[in-house]
A = this chain, B = another copy of it.
Amino acid sequence: MTGFVDVKSMTQWIQREGVEKIISGMMDYLERDYERWQRFDKIPRVASHTPLGVIELMPTSDGEEYAFKYVNGHPSNPARGFQTVAAFGMLADVDNGYPTFLAEMTLLTALRTAATSGMVARHLARKDSTVMGMIGAGSQSEFQALGMRAALGIEDIRIYDIDPAAVDKFVRNVEPLGFRVHRAASVADAVAGADVITTCTADKAQNTILSTEHVAPGVHLNAVGGDCPGKTELEAAILDKADVFVEFPEQTRIEGEIQQMPADFPVIEMWEVIAGKREGRTSAEQITLFDSVGFAINDFAALRYLRDSVAGSDLETHLDLVADPDDPKDLFSLIPTFAPLL
């Protein structure tokens, strides 16, 4: 039987454990997987683009477990009452190829994206960071706030979104959690004095959400929204001013902010920083930029963290997903009509 966590169990798990505890635990799983990055089977995600959005499959394997995520990205969905991003994912045993665990991943993706941002910020942001400027108050925004608090202790947030109702929602959700929120009147107001800037908008277009004058020396820029061909958020000049860190260059060059740059634009792979092979932040004035697009190994870590956390609890149910005849060569025996009448 295949373990299963549905939406209801996922919300109960988050309620019981708490978002920040989950993000902290997931950051540890992520770091361990980034340290052994070279063991993984890695390909850019497999995307099917349509006029309204994209549907993607994101597989990876460490040689013992295989994971993949199904995820869509449809910027026009909220206007029609749907989530921009919905996802589910699976773990399988590489030795026999059987699926072992299936889970909703809309919520889990929000957690793992925040955990990835947090893990990276732990290595790249200045240790004395106290203020985050945020552009975008959509579904990912509260998770990003909690991720940065888990990673850096940040509780002061300056947020801007073109949709004031989305900002209302953000304030309503995070103020009770102890955050101090400044409702910024503009992008410039949101980033004023920020130590960390997070951009997380959904529009599938080459936008300039952030310009070079918005990025002061010493800032860590957590660029989450540009994650698709033709979808960027930053003025290209920012990329020239910053040291750019990425997950998997083969995918980021297609999907990330660096799709604006030449194919040989220099980047540092985050796993190299975490494994101690390259330096992360080297000075208080350096601008560090995490060109985050979301990679399959992030989902691999998140799924394993969830699976390990719910194992043996009432949160995990089971699906009858794999036909299992007594004689493995006799699949036909599962069809009762055709058994000989004895």
Chain A residues engaging chain B, CB cutoff 8 angstroms: 4, 6-8, 10-11, 14-15, 18-19, 41, 43, 46, 48, 50, 52-55, 57, 59, 61, 63, 66, 68, 70, 72-74, 77-78, 80-84, 86, 88, 90, 92, 94-99, 104, 106-107, 110, 137-140, 142-143, 163, 166, 169, 172-173, 175-177, 319-325, 327-338, 340-341
Contact = CB atoms under 8 A, between A and B. Distances in A.
B322 A104 contact: yes
A329 B166 contact: yes
Nearest to A6: B320
Contacts of A68: 57, 70
Nearest to A18: B337
Contacts of A172: 340
Given A59-B57, A333-B173, A72 B46 contact: no
8 contacts: A19-B335, A48-B59, A55-B61, A77-B97, A78-B328, A110-B331, A139-B330, A169-B329
Given A97-B73, A328-B77, A328-B83, A106 B322 contact: yes
A96 B80 contact: yes
A337 B15 contact: yes
Contacts of A10: 323
A7 B322 contact: yes
